Structures are given as structure tokens and as C-alpha cells.
Chain A
Amino acid sequence: MSLRGLLRVPFDGLDRFCARAFPPAWNPMAQLGAIGWFLFWIVTVSGIYLYVFFDTGVAGTWRSIEAITHDQWWAGGVMRSLHRYASDAMVVMVLVHLSREWAMDRMRGNHWFAWATGVPLILFIYVCGITGYWLVWDARAQYVAVASAQLLDALPIFGEPIGRNFLDQASVSDRFFTLMVYLHIAAPLLMLLFMWIHIARHARAKVAPARGLGAVILLTLTALSLAWPALSEPPADLDRMPEAVPLDWFYLGAYPVMEKWGAAAVWLGLAGLFALLWLLPWLPPRRTPPAAKVDLGNCNGCARCFADCPFGAISLAPRSDGRSYEQEAVVHPEQCMACGICVGSCPTATPMRSAPDFVAGIELPDRLLAALRREVQAAASGLAGDDRVIVFACEHGAAADAAGGNAARIALPCVGMLPPPFMDWILSRGLADGVMLAGCAAGDCHFRLGDRWTAERIAGQRDPWLRERVPRERIGVSWAARGDRGQREADLAAFRARLPALPAMARGEKRERAPARPFARRAWPKPLQWGAWAGVFGALAFGTGALASWPDLRLLQPDEAVISLSLRHAAHTRVECQPLTPEELMKLKPNMRRQVGCPRQRWPVYVELLRDGFVLYQGQHQPAGLWNDGPSTVLERIVVPAGRQALTVRLRDSGREQGFDHERRIEADLAPAQNFVIEFRGGQWSLRP
């Protein structure tokens, strides 16, 4: 079984569960993206509220958030908690959404667009989340700052380590804070832009969940906020290292990985994961069915396919064949998913046409209607009795195997591909006693909108209308997810059972243009449904609340301290300045002729830190700059036992083989959790605090 096949198993189970527990309109599986949008707005609104009371500055930040949290716990406190928990829920949503689309194979072929624009959204979410934790400026934020700096410093981007901004309490600046606030506002704005691009190729994209479902989500998050408010740690104090910080595992899960395996491992892992995810649509096996095709001889530019295409893959263009029409339909093959929903909308798509190989105005090259008509005729000739059923089965919903013999199954990419005149023709010509449309779960069409358009066409609410006189009881509309075979089998059995008792299709009889009668949903009894909702939302709330601040990440044992070794120092140049010989001078351009030549290359800086005679740290640091003429930089945090110790720190910056140019012996008494900074500054080793 493929990886994707394995991934399908839990989702088939979830689909079945949701079909029993939720009304179709509330099925969360069918609106994960819309839930994501809703969560985004919750985070935005609560964020704007928090910003009103937020004080940006090293000194005021923590206190202002404490005030928001405690002085107005009923408003600001709830807003803060909503801000955190809705963000966490968004990570959950993204994970489920992404793996479900993967499981459904909805990223291959022309689906690539939403996938390739969705994966980068994850990066935005993380920039938002991490900068957000930073802004609280408590012990956790301090860790996030220090660790993020360490992560970023592992990349060869910044000339000088960002971490030096968080060396000790004296080095943090308000300006860095302003930058963080700016990032925390800019990132979601950019994210919104990408969210919009993400859904740009979806006609009628669903950006809001069902109202009731949205209300339940908001209520759940509010209840969680009241029961388990988001709180700050003690204020950040860079002169100390927190022993342990409660981690939000949704956003900060990579940091423990860094603590264990290093920043390079995190970057490599993330880069590999993202590259794989992003490239997934183009990895084999590739499946790209041919796009729908317009037949201009049968197209008068009526725009119905244009109105029904769920992917905006059809547009109307000025007539190109000289006929007197103004417009014609044009398919954009790079956007077409070959669902056939356009075929179902075409007014020329009727099996009552006389030509054996008739062509409709728009058709799928792989599934021509003339062949479909022959297939129906052949299938019908094999049926007998008074419960003959022709099942048009979507390839993505629950299997609709015609068990019991007297039903013939015809597969379509989507039930929305079946033009209503086909149903009319089968029933009015007596080819079968019933037509069953077996699609995906209601509201969860594999291609989008196929279920809705089908139901509306039958009900006479969307073109093409099904003829009034066609008895709706003889049309069985069954919606069941792939994992929900029970529903499908029950629907088919119920449909076949009701057919013999129905009156013959009488001519001239007046009927209401009505929707097809839905089958009984195999939902659980109401109390069980409520129990299931409580279970789902309770588990989500508990999981979100718990993982948002538990388990802790232990940074130090109780009797440990930290030595931060920092320097930014330009070593001596490799070659001393020397007077140039007349020959050397003549080689230079006249305006460049100086009496003394000074090559710019510097020596590396070699640094050692010894504790009680044992080496704690040693390293050779190359000068920065393309010509190796810049300063060397060092930023190391070394965990040591607290208590009295004899330290020796020394460096070599003149290219000498033996001995040291700057050395200092330090008798230190380190308190537990102390951050003891040793810095080379102004030509000598200095200590802080």
C-alpha cells in the first residue's frame, strides 16, 4: 500500500465518523480551509484588541500584558487566550487540511496551484507564531529570542550574530522590539495575501464555515480561554537563564530538536520536509487527465459551463469562427481538473440527439457523451424486472457496486458531469426504473460543487433544469464519503425497494418541479451525536490547551549556570604594511600609487576557555568579509555547574603558533541559573554582570 493509501485509512474513518455525528452542513472535514479562515479572523480581531493595550518596549511590555491578562481578565484576558488558542488551532487545522488533501490526491496535476501556494502559508503561520511569543517578553520569550537567534545565526545570512542582541539584560534594545512588532503585523498581512492567492483558482471558494459550526468553534475556544487562560512566565531577565520554560509545542516544537541535535539539523530537516511537501504535486505517479474541450459547432457562448466550472477554468472570449455569436467558451487546460461538471451544464448535452456520435458544446475527451449513451443502452439491456437501476457512480465517493444484479454501475469522474436530460431519457424511454446518482459526501465533492449543482439542477434551481414531469422518486441521490460504504449500500437498497411500488411514469401528469427526495441519513441518535460533538470539541480544546504550554522544556539542571562567551574582534592583518619598491609602484595606476602597501587579509582569532584547567571551549574563527578583512565573531553559551570556579579565557589574534595575545584568569562564583558573560571588548577581556 502506498503512503497515500495508508494516509487514507484514518481519513476514511474520520469521514465515516463525521457522517454519523454531524449534519452535512456542519461536517468539519468538508470545510477545513474555511475553518482556517475563521480562526485567522479570530486571531486578527483578538490581536487588534491586544495591540490597543500593548506597550512596545523592553521595560513596559511584560507589565502591559500582565495588566491585559489580569486587570481585565474578562475581556483582555479572554482575548489574549483566544489569540493563542485560535493560533494553535490553526496549526492543527493546517496539519489535518494538508494531510487530507494529500490523502485525497488533491494536489496532483492541475491541483498543484492550491498546494504550492498553501505550503508557503505554513512558513507565514510560524513567523506569526514565533514573533508573537517573542512579544510577551517573559522567560519563555527570552528563550524564544535566544534560541531563534541561535537558529538564525546558523544560517550564513547575517554578518554579525543576532544573538549578541540578547547577550545580557543590557544589550536588549527597544528598537529590536519595534522590529518584532512590525514583523508580527506584517507577517499576517502577507499571509492574508497568500491565503487569497491560495484560493484564487477556486470559484466560490468557501471562506467561512457553516454558521453553527463557527459558533461552536468560537464557544469552545472561549470556554478553553476561561478555563485555562494563557498566562505569562516571569519577566525576561537575560542575566539569568530560565531553568525550564513551558513550550507551545505547536509553534516551538523545533526548538527542542535544536537543543538536542543542533541548528543545522533543524534547518536541514525543515528544508528537506518543505522541499518534499512543496514538490509533491510533481513527483510520480503523475496523473493529468486531458482537459475539457469546446466544440464550437455546438457552442453559442451561453455561458452555462462558465458559470458552473468550480475552478474558473472556463472563460468567455470573442467569437473566433466567424459565426454570428458574440462569444464562445474557452477552456484553460492548465486550470481544468477534468471533473466534467461543465459537460453536465451544457444545453446541447442530451442523449435525445439523433447523430450516433453527437458531440456536446463541451466534453471530456476521455468520457464522451455519445459513448456514455451507448454504455447506458448496453447496461440497460442487461436489466429486467421492476427495480432496474442505473447507478452513475462518482469515482471518489463510497463504492457503489451494484450488488444484487439488477443494478448497473456506470462510473463518472463526478456525478455533476451527468446532464439532466440523461436522467430524463433513461426514465422516459423506460431504460431503467430508477436512476441513482452516487456521489461524494454532501458538501464534500471531490472536485467542489458537483453535489450542489446536481441537486439544484434536479430541483429546477440551476440550469439545465430537469423536466418537471420526470418523477423525482425515481431519481435516487446518494451522498456518501469513500469510507462510508454503509450509507451507500443502505441508500441503494432503499432505492431499489421503493421502485416497484411507484406508479408508472404517466404522461401528461402535472407535477411540482421538486428536488430529489433525500435518503435517510445513517446518523447516530441525537444524544450520541451530542456526545460525539462534545468529545470532538472537548478533545480538541484539551489537546490545544495542554500542548500550548506543556510539557516544559528543561534548559538547566537546578545547580547549573551558563557562561556566555562573546567577542567581535578584528585580528591583526597577516602582512604588515611595507614600503613599496619603485617597480611595484610602477605597476599601479598613477592615482593608486601610495608609498606603503597594506594587504587587508587578517589572521583568524583562536579562542579558548578553560575551567579548572580543563578546556570548556576552543575554536578558530575566520575573519568576516569577502576579502577576509572583517572582524571574527564568537557567540557561545556553555552550561557549567554553579559555584566557585577558576576560569581562564585567552585568545590568539596575531597568527602566532604558540602562546596567547590576550589572556585573563577569572575567579568566579556562579549562582544557579546565572548568565555569566565573558566578552572581549576594547582589546581586553571583560566580565558582566
Chain B
Amino acid sequence: MEPALIEWREDFRIGLPEVDQEHRELIDAINRLHRELVVGASIGRVTGALGDIHAAISSHFALEEKDMQALHYAEFEAHKREHERLLDEILDIIDDVTASGSYDPQVLSSRLADWFTGHFRTFDARLHRWLAARH
């Protein structure tokens, strides 16, 4: 079986249980899509899966934003803008796949992996540190 695209790591943990749970579920969804990409799923299937991922991430970000605001997170504004940029990016990926009518599984997979882990390494890590420092 194809190895997972993204492995859950302990340092992904933010410290908000409901957010961490959704992070795991999102990683699972992206890994599932990755396995489909590798075996050459149809365009409709790929865009549909990306649409589902977009909806899931939208609501995940919404929840994370609610928690950040409730905690008066200092860097909320920047983090929120980054969320919106990321959401736009998935839609851009969907547009690209739809418009070109084809995709390169490796390119698309790595784009997704970068997209996901990039956010983790920077913004979520900052939130994690901020939350940890509060206690």
C-alpha cells in the first residue's frame, strides 16, 4: 500500500482537543485523496474530494478561529488571513484541475502536502507556543 502522504506527528498538536482531533481527520482525508491520486482517479472524483476537503477545512478553520478569539489570541488577525489564503489556495487547486482536465499525481500530492505542513510549521506552531506559554 502507498505510504501516507502526511504522518501525524506529536508536534502537530496545538493543545485544543477539538482542533487537534479535526487536524487528524483532515490528515486522513488528504492521505485518502493521495492514495486515489496515485491510482489515477477521475477528474470529477478528485475535484469532488478536494471540494469535501475544502468544506472540512473551512469549518475546521472556523472552529479554530472561534477558539482563538475566545482565548484572545494575540496574532489572531494574521492567523485568520493565513486561513483565508489557504482556503483560497485549495479553490485555486480545484480550478486548476478543473480547467486543465488533468493532473500530475506527484505534483498535486506534494502541493497538498506543502500546503498542509507549511501552515503547521508556521502559524499553528506559533499558536501552540502561545497556548503553552499561557499556562
Contact = CB atoms under 8 A, between A and B. Distances in A.
A507 B96 contact: yes
B63 A302 contact: yes
Contact of B94 (A298, A302, A352): A352
Interface in B54-99: 54-56, 58-63, 65-66, 84, 87-88, 91-92, 94-96, 98-99
B92 A353 contact: no
B5 interface: no
B131 interface: no
A348 B63 contact: no
Nearest to B44: A354
Nearest to B69: A303
Interface in B99-125: 99
Interface string A342-357: 0000111010111100
Interface string A298-318: 101111100000000000000
A71 interface: no
What are the 10 closest A-B residue pairs judged by CB atoms, nearest first? Answer: A354-B48, A352-B51, A302-B62, A347-B58, A347-B59, A324-B21, A302-B63, A347-B62, A325-B18, A300-B63
Given A325-B18, A353-B48, A298 B59 contact: yes
A118 interface: no
A469 B48 contact: no
B62 A463 contact: yes
Contacts of A298: 59
A303 B91 contact: no
A353 B84 contact: no
B109 to A, nearest CB: 19
A346 B88 CA distance: 17
A325 to B, nearest CB: 5
7 contacts: A300-B62, A301-B66, A347-B59, A352-B50, A352-B91, A468-B84, A469-B91
A109 interface: no
Given A354-B52, A460-B84, A507-B99, A467 B58 contact: no
Contacts of B87: 465, 467
A508 B59 contact: no
A671 B56 CA distance: 91
A354 B21 CA distance: 23
Contacts of A347: 55, 58-59, 61-62
Interface in A331-380: 346-348, 350, 352-355, 361
B49 A354 contact: yes
| B21, B50, B63: most-surrounded residue (chain A CB, <10 A) | B63
Contacts of B61: 347
Given A302-B63, A353-B51, 7 more contacts: A302-B65, A325-B63, A348-B56, A352-B54, A354-B45, A467-B91, A508-B92
Interface string A478-511: 0000000000000000000000000000011000
Contacts of A429: 98
A174 interface: no
A337 to B, nearest CB: 23
Given A325-B18, A347-B61, A352 B92 contact: no
A138 interface: no
Given A325-B18, A507-B96, A348 B58 contact: yes
A163 B129 CA distance: 79
B28 interface: no
Contacts of A469: 88, 91-92
B85 to A, nearest CB: 8
Of A353, A361, A460, A513, the most chain B CB neighbours within 10 A belong to A353
Contacts of B54: 350, 352
Chain B interface mostly helix, strand, loop or mixed? helix
B124 to A, nearest CB: 17
A33 interface: no
**Interface residues on chain A, size class:** 20 to 34
A326 interface: yes
A303 B18 CA distance: 14
Given A302-B66, A429-B98, A348 B51 contact: no
Nearest to B99: A507
A549 interface: no
Contacts of B55: 347-348, 350, 352-353
B6 to A, nearest CB: 20
B36 to A, nearest CB: 12
Nearest to A350: B55
B1 to A, nearest CB: 23
Contacts of B52: 353-355
Contacts of B94: 352, 428
B92 A507 contact: yes
Nearest to A345: B62
A424 interface: yes
A476 interface: no
Contacts of A424: 91
A140 to B, nearest CB: 58
A321 to B, nearest CB: 13
A352 B53 CA distance: 10
A463 B17 CA distance: 23
A504 to B, nearest CB: 11
A36 interface: no
B131 to A, nearest CB: 15
A300 B55 CA distance: 12
Nearest to A304: B62
A79 B52 CA distance: 64
B88 A324 contact: no
Contacts of B65: 302, 463
Nearest to B16: A326
A681 B51 CA distance: 93
Interface centre among B18, B21, B45, B49 (most CB of A within 10 A): B18
A464 interface: yes
A25 B50 CA distance: 41
A361 B59 contact: yes
A429 B21 CA distance: 33
B92 A300 contact: no
Given A350-B51, A507-B92, A507-B96, A300 B18 contact: yes
A298 B22 CA distance: 12
A353 B44 CA distance: 11
A300 B60 contact: yes
Contacts of A304: 62
Nearest to A468: B88
A460 B84 CA distance: 9
Contacts of B60: 300
Interface in B1-49: 17-18, 21-22, 45, 47-49
Contacts of A467: 87-88, 91
Interface string A394-437: 00000000000000000000000000000010001100000000
